[in-house]
Chains A and B, each alone.
Chain A
Amino acid sequence: EAGVAQSPRYKIIEKRQSVAFWCNPISGHATLYWYQQILGQGPKLLIQFQNNGVVDDSQLPKDRFSAERLKGVDSTLKIQPAKLEDSAVYLCASSSQVANEQFFGPGTRLTVL
């Protein structure tokens, strides 16, 4: 069974630039999560999708972050414009149902200069 795929693995941008991350969850997993993990902190949920609908985006900074999962499969997370404090690892995870075990991708390490 293929795992959760993410790209790119690494990204370096300057502040005020835009960036997008892509995630392909495990086939058949209805629930998809985006987490932000800042160095020294635990992963923090940014947004949770159930199929193509948003379940929870309460911690997503909506002035600059957006995410979509149009066909209920893969998803993109965008930051526009980026700030220095957005430097983090962005993890995507999927699960077959809400509250079930989550399977993580390798993450995208973003550095904002």
Chain B
Amino acid sequence: ILNVEQSPQSLHVQEGDSTNFTCSFPSSNFYALHWYRWETAKSPEALFVMTLNGDEKKKGRISATLNTKEGYSYLYIKGSQPEDSATYLCAFNSGNTPLVFGKGTRLSVIA
């Protein structure tokens, strides 16, 4: 059974703080690691799809890194804003297997 772990489970930060979350996944048979942002009452939105070990991706103030050999990915948010408040999900798949999601990290940014 594939297991994807995310930490922390929830996080409260002040506006302007930078923060990061962790996603751990099986290091064998790796195909892709996905990060999603899910705001309340909206559709989960894809942030990054990462496939290569050592890959780093950036979208505005959000960036992510990937280590497939040790099975982890970090998501960083620089200068958090209230609109960043959401649940951040990571999901792993190997080849043609379905995505396996972690439980998510719930971020609250306090103005």
Give the interface of A toward B (CB within 8 A).
3-4, 33, 40-45, 48, 56, 91, 98-99, 101-107
Contacts and interface: CB of A to CB of B under 8 A. Distances in A.
Interface centre among A40, A41, A42, A104, by most chain B C-beta atoms within 10 angstroms, is: A42
B100 to A, nearest CB: 8
B99 A102 contact: yes
Contact of B104 (A4, A42, A56, A98): A42
* Among A40, A56, A102: residue with most chain B CB under 10 A: A102
A106 B4 CA distance: 23
Interface centre among B44, B103, B104 (most CB of A within 10 A): B44
B44 A91 contact: yes
A3 B43 contact: yes
B13 interface: no
Interface string B22-63: 000000000110101000011111100100000000000000
Given A42-B4, A99-B31, A104 B43 contact: yes
Interface residues of B, number: 26
B98 A43 contact: no
15 contacts: A40-B103, A42-B89, A42-B91, A42-B102, A42-B104, A43-B101, A44-B101, A48-B98, A91-B44, A98-B96, A99-B93, A99-B97, A101-B34, A101-B46, A102-B99
Contacts of B43: 3-4, 103-107
Given A42-B4, A43-B89, A107-B43, 18 more contacts: A33-B98, A40-B103, A42-B91, A43-B101, A45-B99, A56-B98, A98-B96, A99-B31, A99-B95, A99-B96, A99-B97, A101-B34, A101-B49, A102-B34, A104-B36, A104-B45, A106-B41, A106-B43
A45 B44 contact: no
B17 to A, nearest CB: 25
A48 B93 CA distance: 14
Nearest to A99: B96
